[in-house]
Amino acid sequence: MATEQTGGDGDAAPPPPRPPRRYIAATAGHVDHGKSALVERLTGTDPDRLAEEKRRGITIELGYADLSLEGGAARVGLVDVPGHEDFVKNMVTGVGQVDVAMLVVAADDGWMPQTEEHLQILEYLGARSGVLILTKADLVADAAARLGEISARAQGSIFENAPHVAVSAVTGAGIDHLRQALCSVLHSLSPRADQGKPRLAVDRAFTFAGAGTVVTGTLVGGRFCSGDDVVIHPKEAPARIRAIQTFNSEVTEAPPGSRVALNLATVRAGRGGRDRPRGGTVQRGYVVVGRQLHMTPSRAIDVLIRRSPRLDPRAKPLQGVLRVRLHIGTRHLGARLALSEPVAAGGSAVARLQPEEPLATLVGDRLVIRDWSQRLTLGGGTVLDPCPPGAAAATRQAAYLRLAVGDDGRPGFALRNGSERARGALQVLAERDGLVTLCEVDRLLPEATQELQEAARALVAEGILVGGEDGLVEAGRLAGLTGDARETLASWVADHPERGAAPGSLLASLVAALPQPASLVALIERQLRRDGYQIEGGQIRPPGTTAALPEPLRPLLREMRAALTATPLTPPSRKQLTASTDQARVLEYLVASGEALLLGADVVVTEAAFAVARERIVEHLSQHGEATAGELRVALDTNRRVIIPLLEHLDREGITVRHGDRRRLSSR
């Protein structure tokens, strides 16, 4: 019986401390509404680090600070974003993976243009929760009334039922209340899932003296450990993690949901902007992923585009083909957007995005589109297919996208999470492509590989899909393909009874137009074997079928038997034997029935002659140890045309082994 471990005083040893819960929060709101001052009051850290920011008194770049709550039980990485309309592209970079959005409105200004734009961006990017904060409360006589006004403006948004707090960064009024509100919101959130697919969208990349290249960002999808091999997209450049920091402390591993700094080996920091770094560099907008996550950068992405219902109903609908600015992760770049239908305020439509440079994304990733002049936010989107098929599959892709989005107000598989998305993706991709592999789907989804495998096993157990690791097919489709195969094989054998079997290439022709035909053929063959078909040597023999020669060809059969047995080890060539189509059919019958053997392209012998030749060669090599082809030719009293393919056939059977120009008996 096990005993409890005790401390020195006999008391039970205390349990190890729980690691702190980790979250990401970001500010949002109009310029000069006190976002940076609020962050400094909460954390003691001034997030404005650039000299130009100090000189101009506005935030230009993303700022960062760490917030400890509940005595260190909760650690929050705070991202402070610029509020000026000229720097919205930087703002989008900072709020892509936030747990809590802190929408800041100054009491002396009220709701302003960037307040509204930032709110819509947060909703487009799927912020998990929010807190509505009235700052500069000390500047108005009735802060409660002002808070009521901005609360009314937040109706119908993620901030409608969120905590609403009035604070002053100058006096400290309301700061404790804000901390309590943040704790309450964070407690309602489930922790970031560890799916074993870590991704870090780089928001800063720089060279640190004595350490080398360092990148920072928010880690999602999995954890990174010191020493891990990683890949940097879109360049697909390999790198290795030397060291990790989170909350200004070096750690051996970082969990998902952390603000992380990675010290990377074998890469250097790019300059960003118009710089086009080559492989082996990293800059803002790039994505560091675990080596196990096999993402595929693409220049075409199918997405669902949404426009906020908060837009002016008179706003011009998006339609046709547009040149836009695409913001995804921490990257922004030009793109061509082709919409399937017009999208008005509150509407949505499927679209094809073609970014100027390849992007590595997963199903469900969120994005924002802005106009080319970078003055207006046009809408948001969700990735439906990171690597859509080409134009030849347009009809099948249209069906895929309908199922990815859903109808009747119910979301499709791409807009769900977890096992529902995994099940949906497996079924829909199997329907689109004929066959789907787990590896293929694993490249597309953020869900854990294990979750995908479990979904596949469940679909197979339910009889919805058929197959395994090598590929999955809809049960009905495989049954249909197998039925087509049976009919095709039966028809071919009926037309060629002298063979009694059909060439396996017939199956390939049945599925040639579908993706991954080789895997489909393997599944069809497996089903045929279960039904009693014999598949060997590239031939498929239906159950109960034997080679049968039509009666009109019987005279030719007697002639060919006589020709082959007249001089068994120096028979006529195949060309001589098959001068006519009917003679060719007779020879096929002899081979299919096992009476004759094809040794090479032009050599045919009877099975009896082959048995005699094999016996003599074995006897000769047993006596002499080894022999050349010429010596064996003399021993058999045959010619070179026959002896060479005969010996090669014995080599393949493992009876003889060639050493230079001599043969020996195999030791097997």
CATH architecture assigned to 21-187: 3-Layer(aba) Sandwich (3.40)
Kindly indicate the confidence band of residue 274, based on its pLDDT and cuts at 50, 70 and 90.
very low
Please give, one letter per residue, the 3-state secondary structure of 450-506: HHHHHHHHHHHHCCCEEEECCEEEEHHHHHHHHHHHHHHHHHHHHHCCCCCCEECHH
What is the tens place of the pLDDT at every residue in 13-49? 666 667 788 899 999 999 899 999 999 999 999 888 8
DSSP string of 46-67, one letter each residue: ----SHHHHHHTS--S-EEEEE
Q: What share of the chain is helix, strand, coil (3-state, %, to 5)?
A: 35, 25, 40
**What would the two tokens of residue 655 be?**
């009876």
- Whole-angstrom Cα distance, residue 557 to residue 90? 85
**pLDDT of 296 strictly over 50:** yes
pLDDT at res. 273: 46
- Whole-angstrom Cα distance, residue 439 to residue 30? 45
Residue range 153-178: average pLDDT?
95
Give the chain's count of helices (H) and strands (E). Answer: 19, 33
- The set of long-range contacts for 146-151, using a CB threshold of 8 Å and a minimum separation of 24, is 146/107, 146/110, 147/107, 149/110, 149/111, 150/105, 150/110, 150/111
* 553-665 placed in CATH 3.40.50.2300: no
CATH architecture assigned to 199-290: Beta Barrel (2.40)
Q: What is the DSSP letter of 6?
A: B
Q: CB of 350 within 8 A of CB of 304?
A: yes
Please give, one letter per residue, the 3-state secondary structure of 586-608: HHHHHHHCCCEEECCCCCEEEHH
Kindly indicate the confidence band of residue 2, based on its pLDDT and cuts at 50, 70 and 90.
very low
Amino acid at 266: T
What is the tens place of the pLDDT at every residue in 571-610? 998 899 988 998 888 888 888 888 889 888 889 999 999 9
Domain ranges in the chain?
Answer: 21-187, 199-290, 395-548, 553-665
Kindly indicate the confidence band of residue 455, based on its pLDDT and cuts at 50, 70 and 90.
very high
Please list, in sequence order, all residues whose beta carbon lies within 8 angstroms of the beta carbon of residue 249, skipping any fewer than 6 positions away.
none
Closest among 491, 451, 149, 121 to 306, alpha carbons compared: 121
pLDDT at res. 470: 76
CA distances from 28 to 69, 94, 309, 478 (A): 21, 10, 20, 53
pLDDT at res. 60: 83
What is the tens place of the pLDDT at every residue in 118-155? 999 999 999 989 999 999 999 999 999 999 999 999 99
Q: CB of 304 within 8 A of CB of 415?
A: yes
**Cα 513 to the center of its chain, rounded Å:** 24
**pLDDT of 164 strictly over 60:** yes
Query: Is the model more confident about 664 or about 210?
Result: 664
Element (H, E) at 321: strand 321-328
